[in-house]
Amino acid sequence: MSGANVLVVFYSRTGVTETLALAAGVGAVHAGASIRLRRIRDSADEKTIAAHKAWVENRERMNKEYGAPAAADIAWANAIILAAPHGFGASSAEVSGLLKTIRSSSTDGKLANKIAGAFDSTSLGAENNPGLASVLSALAGTGLTVVPGGSVAYDSEDTAAAEKPLPAHSPEIALAQNYGRTLARKADALP
C-alpha cells in the first residue's frame, strides 16, 4: 500500500472536470494514498461568470467544498495531479496562478523526489494538445518528475455535453481513477 500524499488540484466551471478530479483522487485512495482536493479559483470577472447559470451555481458550491491550493499543500504532497478543462494551458490565468505557486515552492530542491502530472478532459496526449504540453513542460521545469496524463476523452467543448454529469462507471471515470492510482504508486516508489 502507498504511503503517498497526493494533491489533486482542478479547475472546473460546470463540474465535469471536478468529477474527473474526484475520480483521480479515488484512484489514489485505492492505492493507499492520502489526498487533498483543491479547486483553483476563477480569474474571470463577475459579469462574465454571472452570464452562465451553471458556472455561478457550481462555483459557489465548489468554493465551499474545496479550499484554494496553497504552498502548504504543495509542501505536503508527494504527488500533484492537475485536472483542467480542454484549452487551459500554462498561459491560462487559472493554471498560471497554480504554476506560479508551484514554482515558488521549488527553491532549494524542495520538489525533488516529488512527481506531478496533468490531464484535461479532451486531450489525446500532450503531443496532440499544446495546452496540456505547456502545463507538463512547466511542471517539469520546477524539478518535479512528470508523468503524462493525456486523455480522458470527454468532450467538454460541447456545451450540452459539458453540463451533463458523467456516469459513475464511464470510461472517462475509469481512466481518471487509473491515473490517480498510477501517480500514487509512482510517488510511493520514489526515494
Higher pLDDT, 38 or 107: 38
Instruction: Say whether pLDDT at 160 is over 50.
Output: no
Predicted confidence band of residue 182 (pLDDT cuts 50, 70, 90) = very high
At 63 the pLDDT is 96
Instruction: Write the CATH number for 84.
Output: 3.40.50.360
Q: pLDDT-derived band of residue 156, with 50, 70 and 90 as boundaries? A: very low
Q: What mean pLDDT value characterizes the chain? A: 84
**29-85 residue pLDDT tens:** 999 999 999 999 999 999 999 999 999 999 999 999 999 999 999 999 999 999 988
Residue by residue, DSSP assigns 27-90 as HHHHTT-EEEEEEPPP-S-HHHHHT-HHHHHHHHHHHHHSBPP-HHHHHH-SEEEEEE-TT--T
User: What is the domain range of residue 42?
Assistant: 5-189
Q: Does 186 or 190 have the greater pLDDT score? A: 186
Q: How confident is the model at residue 159 (pLDDT cuts 50, 70, 90)?
A: very low
**Top-confidence residue, 166 or 91:** 91
pLDDT mean over 84-108? 82
Q: How many domains does the chain have?
A: 1
Q: What is the pLDDT of residue 165?
A: 60
The pLDDT-based confidence of 149 (bands split at 50, 70, 90) is: low
pLDDT at 181 > cutoff 90 = yes
Contacts of 123 (CB under 8 A, 6+ apart): 86, 129, 131, 132, 149, 150, 151, 152
Say which residue, 170 or 25, is predicted with more confidence. Answer: 25
CB atoms within 10 A of CB 178: 15
Q: What is the model's pTM?
A: 0.86
Greatest mean pLDDT range, 34-48, 107-121, 124-138: 34-48
